[in-house]
Structure 1
Amino acid sequence: MRRCAAPRKWGLWAGSATMVAAGLTAFAFQWRSLVHAMAGLRTLFGRRSAAAHDPVAHVEVPVSWFVAGALVSGAGCVAIMRLWWAVPVSLGILAVLLAFVLSLVACRATGETDITPIGAMGKVTQLFYGVALPQQMQANLMTAGVTAGAATAAADLLTDLKSGYLLGANARRQTLAQAAGILFGTVVVVPAWYLLVKNAAVISGDNPQFTAPAANVWASVAELLSRGIESLHPTCRAGMLVGGLVGVLLTVAEKFIPRRVVAWMPSATGLGLAFVIEFHDSIAFLVGALVAAAYARWRPAQAETYVVPVSSGIIAGESLMGVLIAFLGAFGLLGGR
């Protein structure tokens, strides 16, 4: 029996269960978004009356563009999953179709609530392929990655297009610009990945350079589905049970408890994340939240104006410096590293 003695490993399972349960519960409360998204398919593929005249048809994206893009990108995803991750073609096609359906749900949820249920989208796919492809962690992760990636991109592009509509931009030109962004982004991202992540020790091990807490959650779910819950130590299973119950209860409470009380309740996602990430990161979050809360009580008007920009600048500065250090280390420009 595997041991679960390390506090970090135990916290990973408890925190993952909290976030997964909270995400799926919140997704269940958005069932109307699923219904509306499915109903929206009739608008997308339905026939338009020949007599009907759309004054903005010349700037809208035609359905033929969507079909062509879906066929090309879908075929590419299926081929890559088959060649590199041994996912059967039939299940690869199913993953693309599932990604399309869940992307509609993600877009609808983003449009209605400004919250994209990325985690829930991936977990739904992981649960499905945990049954369809048991004991295959890589295939489980890759198919879930297709779903979550499609949902994320679709929701982000929806936000871009909505901003364009508000500003009077041309939707066709926006779409072409986004397609160009895919091309140039791929050209840049792949070499950058190989430059920064030269071996697995950078993203895994006892002291990884890139902790990627969300990746740990995905990996833990894939490991659980491939090996079975019996492979976990009883304390890990107990942590998962408690974490799952806490995630469900907190999410349900947010829906039915008065808002003035909810303001004092911990976030299920934040609570679960604190178990997954490094302790010093959790402390940093706490210190930042306390400083922001104190500033908001001291100078409410100034806090409304400055807290978010200053916080964003701190996050961006730390991220950029981390990337700079990683590049300097990759080129051997940091002494002793």
Structure 2
Amino acid sequence: MGGLLSILGVRALGETDLNPVSGLGKISQLLFAWIQPGNVLANTIAGGVAEAGAQQARDLMQDLKTGHLVRASPQAQFYGQLIGSSLSIIVSATAYTLYQRAYTIPGPPFPAPTAYVWLSLARLLCDGQLPQNSASYMVLLQ
């Protein structure tokens, strides 16, 4: 499903210059709530994987589009993407490990607010529970 949503996101980006990755992740969460009702963890992971796939597809499409405009070799771009992706695995894992040793993640220095949005939607879809004080917040917004 992540691949299908990635294609949808790239198509939308190509035609409108906007990539609805957040919405695509939420669609994935809605579908996964129907497939695996009550499974908050699987629901959150499904949304995250779909959004991450759509973001990566967007980045790759933009890179290839720029390469086409400057007449770069698609083969060289492909190898560059492979090398960069391989190195980023090592760099990202190392950086995360270093941050995790120094800080509590999530914690006061790194609160991860987007993670709470994903978790809140998963809980709402699976359990029907909204976060605490959300009803009064919605009344104040009206």
Cα deviation for residue 151 of structure 1 reads 0.3
Q: Is the 8 A contact 1:197 1:203 kept in 2?
A: no
Match of 2:128 among 208, 215, 228: 228
Return 5+ residue gaps in structure 1 as ranges: 1-97, 247-337
Matches within 5 A, 1:116-127: 116-127=19-30
Which residue of 1 is the match for residue 115 of structure 2? 215
Question: Distance in 1 between the 2:102 and 2:24 partners?
Answer: 29
What is the match of residue 136 of structure 1? 39
Deviation, structure 1 residue 104:
0.9
Relative contact order, CA 8 A, sep 6+: which one is greater? 1
Cα 1:241–1:140 shift into 2, 3 Å: farther
CA contact under 8 A between 2:9 and 2:54: conserved in structure 1? yes
CA root-mean-square deviation: 2.4
Shift, 1:186, TM fit:
0.4
Among 5, 9, 13, the alignment partner of 1:106 is: 9
- CA 1:218/1:239 → structure 2, altered by over 3 Å: closer, same or farther? same
Instruction: Identify the match of residue 49 of structure 2 among 143, 146, 149.
Output: 146
Q: Percent identity?
A: 33
Amino acid at match of 1:115: L
Report matched runs for 1:148-163 at 5 Å. 148-163=51-66
Quote the Cα distance in structure 2 between the aligned partners of 1:170 and 1:232: 50
SS at match of 2:9: helix
Question: For each residue in 1:71-99, what CA deviation from the matched residue of structure 2 results, as whole angstroms up to 9, or x when unmatched?
Answer: xxxxxxxxxxxxxxxxxxxxxxxxxxx11
* 5+ residue gaps, structure 2: none
Task: Please state if 1:176 is matched with 2:79.
Answer: yes
TM-score (normalised: structure 1) = 0.39
- Give TM-score, length-normalised by structure 2: 0.86
Distance 1:163 1:101, change over 3 A: same
Task: Give SS of 1:111's match.
Answer: helix
Aligned residues: 142
Q: Give 1:150 deviation, angstroms.
A: 0.8
Give the AA of the match of 2:80. A
How far does the alpha carbon of each residue in 1:268-310 deviate from its partner, in whole angstroms, 9 at most, with x for none?
Answer: xxxxxxxxxxxxxxxxxxxxxxxxxxxxxxxxxxxxxxxxxxx
What residue number does 1:165 align with? 68
